[in-house]
Amino acid sequence: MAEQIFKEIKAIIGLGNPGPKYAFTRHNIGFMVADELATLHGGSWREEDLLAHGTVRINDRVIYLVKPLTCMNDSGKIAPWLKKYGLHVDELLVVHDELELPFGTIAYKEGGGAKGHNGLRSLIALVGEPFRRIRCGIGRPESRDQVANYVLGNFTEGDAQVDAMVKAAANEVAKRLG
């Protein structure tokens, strides 16, 4: 990931599915990173409308943390809340799972399409483009018809490796917020 400081970022959106059933699934890596950021930087969560949100102080900047509490496919329904708080698409950093990256890889991307990721598709449709992304590699199953079960399945790589990826992604976000 090229060195870049995100001075204009005001909110970090972690993508996932709500509820304990999905807590340790591959699709929930965005929630896990948002939770790690809250833990590391003194944040707490408050539920409102269709989301959980809080603020953290990272490198002397106050940043919103947001977790849509809709199903992944409806993540963009947080658009009215973002508008209410004056947050624009170019001020958002979205953290999500990425099938196209090997497990544990953390990568930055600006803009781009959804490439089959329904959470991103919903955000693009209802919030707009381009937002920045931190992509957390979860690998890809052997067959395309296994993708839905794979992303909604629990991690099998081991708790320590998942924890290391979550910490690495949270540290990368904090570093880039300068």
State the Cα–Cα distance between residues 40 and 12, nearest whole angstrom.
14
**27 catalytically annotated:** yes
Regarding beta strands 106-110 and 51-58, do their DSSP bridges make them parallel or antiparallel, or are they unpaired? Answer: unpaired
Segments in the chain forming alpha helices (H): 29-40, 79-84, 118-126, 147-151, 159-176
Go through the chain and tell me how many residues it has. 178
Q: What is the dihedral sign for C-alpha 27, 28, 34, 39?
A: negative
State the Cα–Cα distance between residues 37 and 59, nearest whole angstrom.
12
State the Cα–Cα distance between residues 62 and 11, nearest whole angstrom.
9
**Token pair recorded at residue 65:** 């943390």
State the Cα–Cα distance between residues 116 and 33, nearest whole angstrom.
21
Q: What positions carry a catalytic annotation?
A: 27
